């Protein structure tokens, strides 16, 4: 995105990293590009940009195939209180504006030329 790239050195770096990240996910067949960490930080800073849902979440510890997997009880089958706020939807335009505005405030040294790895050296999917 031009606005991200033009928001200063941090924006240039994040744009370069994002281009590579997006290329990898697209090469694996992903249509949507999740930005989990950025969304979590943005929710702390500007929660009104998000629609959320409280849900009970637990980590599977006895499953044959799912040990260690995070599991959400969307339909309250477990009858336990919801303890986790899940981000369900975001106002993407306003979220992008908020990110760029905050990045423009950061002071960062000149990074020089940023080069992206060629597609031939992109990692392969895990499975």
Mind telling me the catalytic residues?
A: 36
Please report where in the chains the tokens 């090469």 appear, as a residue. 27
Task: Yes or no: say if 82 and 56 are a contact pair by the CB < 8 Å rule.
Answer: yes
Signed CA dihedral, 77, 78, 81, 83: sign only: negative
Residue 50: beta bridge partners?
Answer: 90
CA dihedral sign, ordered 25, 27, 126, 72? positive
What are the Cα distances from residue 53, in Å, to 36, 45, 73?
16, 18, 12
């Amino acid at each position: 995105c031009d606005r991200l790239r033009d928001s200063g050195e941090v924006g240039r770096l994040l744009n370069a990293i994002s281009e590579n990240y997006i290329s990898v996910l697209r090469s694996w067949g992903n249509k949507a590009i999740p930005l989990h960490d950025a969304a979590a930080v943005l929710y702390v800073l500007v929660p009104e940009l998000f629609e959320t849902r409280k849900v009970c979440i637990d980590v599977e510890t006895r499953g044959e195939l799912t040990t260690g997997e995070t599991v959400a009880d969307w339909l309250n089958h477990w009858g336990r209180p919801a303890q986790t706020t899940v981000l369900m939807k975001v106002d993407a335009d306003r979220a992008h504006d908020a990110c760029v505005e905050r990045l423009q405030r950061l002071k960062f040294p000149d990074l020089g030329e940023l080069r992206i790895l060629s597609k031939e050296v992109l990692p392969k999917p895990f499975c």
